[in-house]
Amino acid sequence: MAGQTNAKKGVLDPIIALLRWIWDRLERTLLLAIKLVFPSRFISPLGFLGMLTVIVFLILGVTGALLLFHFQPIFGDCPPAAANTTYVPAPTCNSAFNSVASINNQVNWGFLIRNIHYQASNAMVLLAVMHMFYQYFAGRYKLRYEILWVTGIILGVVTIIEAYTGYDLIFNIRGQLAINIGQTLTYYTPVLGANLAQIIFGFSFNDLTIRFYAFHVFIIPIIMLAIMSIHLPKNLVLDIPVASAITGMILILGGLFPVEVGVRYDPNQLTQITFPEWYFTSLYAFIRTQGLQPFIAGAIIPGVFVLIFTVVPFFDRGRKIAMVDRPFWVALGVAALGQIAIVTVWGFRASNPFQPLLTEGQLLIDPVLFTGSLLIATALSYGFVYAFVRWRRAKLDALRAAKKPIPYRKVQPYLLTKGEVYALLGGLLLLQAFLDVAIFRAFLDTLNNFALLEIGMVLVAFAATVHIYRVGAQVK
């Protein structure tokens, strides 16, 4: 019959036709404008750290949404205050903390979700910082990526603020320390200080809780999404094994180092010494430095640091991208990393840096010791790296002048044999099957840490399986 084809009809044809129909219509949407590349071989994750940050952002969105079902942004107002008395809320009125404790201890799966949310927040900050430094050292902003660079820096700062509002919401003493510092810094803002503090922190504990809740779950994420719409490039690399491994590692960390609820914040009691999250200890060190004005320590210094990074692409105008051709900028980047490292460590230490911070008497840091160590670390890291890059450059120039080939080590790829591929795939599948049983048993025995750790291990094992499979596909 005319028009009939010889192609065999398959049972899946209607489904394939439906998928094709949907795909054709999706081309009218924004969704397919983003070009996702799924690499068929291993490529360094350093090149797509940004995409990994987005994946962690999605994990935070999903786990955060689940936490919303049980979190109560309430503090105070119980029992009602008597007229004409100074109202001091009872510690039991810290419903925000109580609800977090309930999520952690009573709500089904609550422990898992909260731990994933916490570890993912740390991972997002870390990945964002790593992403920024990789792009900086690789000189990517020279390839007409200046707008991506600037929006990226803003996105990084907003990410830190988002993390800040998040851990304040627990209303434990660590949250209280962060709130107190944030509020004090805002008050010290010239001219606008008092008004700004009232707008952000409100007039009471209840105001504060509900405002930070609004910032954390809606206002800041919306701002982040808006900036992301400019920051995301059109071409994105989505390496499923690496994304799966990162997710798995977040879960494993949650299982191994479960986050504690902490000590409940009671406004009637003096609190113990505590620390901010690790990404804020640097700021904490500046604030604790004797004689430094709070606004200068907490706002101007970090502000200048961020500003320098923001304007880098507009000063580093040379055409060359390789690190060996940019000694000044590479040394500057390493010096910045050195600064961040030493100041972060200072934040955890007492006035005597060889002692941990335990009592209030140890809070103040000696400015001479602090700035001295900071300057020495910066100067040394800058000097050594600058000299090293210049030496490398001179060596390459000498070779080029002598018309000698530039030596570089060619790494021979290790090719898996067929036997290795089968053995590894078999072993990994067995491991996953065993882990599935172990997870099931862990839930029956309410061993939450084990369950979280093992789900993470399954994701890492899945990543390894997919990777070995794609490597194995190239082996005869």
Partner 1 sequence: MQVPKKHFPIVGLIGLVVVAAAGGGVYYYQFVLSHATVTYLPSHRLVFMTAIVQEERGFHITNTAFLNQSNLPKFDSTSGASMTGVNSTNYRGESDNKTIDAHVGDMITFYIFGENATSSDPALHVSTGHGFDIVGSGSFTVNTSANSPGILGGTNPANPAIPFGKWYSVTVTFNSGGSYTYLCSIVCSPLHGNMNGQIVVT
Positions in the binding site for partner 1 (CB under 8 A): 269-272, 358, 413-417, 419-421, 423-424, 427-428, 430-431, 434-435, 438, 441-442, 445, 447, 450, 453-454, 457, 461, 464, 468, 474-476
User: Which tokens is 185 given?
Assistant: 């810094």
Q: Minimum CB separation from partner 1 for residue 415, in Å?
A: 3
Nearer to partner 1, 122 or 432 (CB): 432
Nearer to partner 1, 184 or 432 (CB): 432
Q: Minimum CB separation from partner 1 for residue 470, in Å?
A: 13
Nearer to partner 1, 226 or 358 (CB): 358
Q: Please, which residues have CB within 8 angstroms of residue 172's CB and are 6 or more apart in sequence? A: 97, 100, 261, 262, 263, 264, 265
Helix residue ranges, H only, 236-317: 240-256, 281-288, 294-295, 301-315
Angle between helices 110-137 and 49-68 (to 10 degrees): 160
Q: Minimum CB separation from partner 1 for residue 419, in Å?
A: 7
d(CA 331, CA 24): 50
Q: Minimum CB separation from partner 1 for residue 416, in Å?
A: 6
Q: Minimum CB separation from partner 1 for residue 182, in Å?
A: 23
What does DSSP say about strands 35-37 and 235-237: parallel, antiparallel, or unpaired?
A: parallel
Nearer to partner 1, 180 or 293 (CB): 180
Q: Please, which residues have CB within 8 angstroms of residue 76's CB and are 6 or more apart in sequence? A: 87, 89, 93, 204, 205, 206
* Cα atoms in the Cβ-side hemisphere of radius 13 Å centred on 7: 6
CB 249, CB 460: distance < 8 Å: yes
Q: Minimum CB separation from partner 1 for residue 357, in Å?
A: 12
Nearer to partner 1, 327 or 456 (CB): 456
- What stretch of H or E contains 155? helix 146-168
DSSP structure class, residue 235 = E
Nearer to partner 1, 369 or 466 (CB): 466
Nearer to partner 1, 72 or 362 (CB): 362
Q: Minimum CB separation from partner 1 for residue 268, in Å?
A: 12
